[in-house]
Amino acid sequence: MDVRIEEGWKHKLAPEFAKQYFETLTHFVKEEYSKGPIYPPAKLIFNAFDLCPFEKVKVVIIGQDPYHGPGQAHGLCFSVPDGIEFPPSLVNIFKEISDDLHAVAPASGNLERWAQQGVLLLNATLTVKAHQAGSHQNKGWEQFTDAAIRVLNDEKEHLVFMLWGSYAQRKCEFIDRQRHLVLQSPHPSPLSAYRGFFGNGHFSKANAYLSENGLEPINW
């Protein structure tokens, strides 16, 4: 199956595109888009991969679902396009960055600037029905995104995995912690941010690790 995705990722994930589950998933997703609003726009389903080529990945942040409100999702976990109000979790992410790095909070919630520096902003499920969180879970996306995480774990060195909340932590249980830095904390959601997301220092820890291993730190 010919999938429109960044060439490095296309090569690494080619075995997945040939599997039956991916064909079934593709049919399901196309059918869903034909019926009504699905997010993100179809051309942005693989935006996380397109903006952060395999060879450039330095940091991996795992989300669960795309945002399911109009205009919010654009294929990068936790991110919203320019001009869109910050969702609560993103507000808390920016608060932690400000506290951790003594940085001024940005005016835009668009995290493309992170992706272009090597931050893979990967949702476990890459599509969702409007206003129905979790509606495209268990259709095959999780198997696909597991494969992406596995190839990163197996073929790269000195990655930073930021795993916020139990879902992300379970999804990345197989990461080799001898070769990569795994940072874990509660989720930035208002329901859990005060239980350990605030004060986790993940952004400064990530940059210190990258620098120690001869990699350019991220301008968060």
Vertex 143, ends 119 and 60: CA angle to 5°? 15
**Quick check: helix, strand or coil at residue 154?**
helix
* Catalytic one of 65, 99, 100, 146: 65
Return the sign of the alpha-carbon dihedral for residues 21, 24, 29, 32.
negative
Vertex 144, ends 140 and 150: CA angle to 5°? 140
Tell me whether residue 65 is one of the annotated catalytic residues: yes
Q: Which residues contact 12 (CB under 8 A, 6 or more apart)?
A: 54, 148, 151, 155
Task: Give the catalytic positions in this structure.
Answer: 65
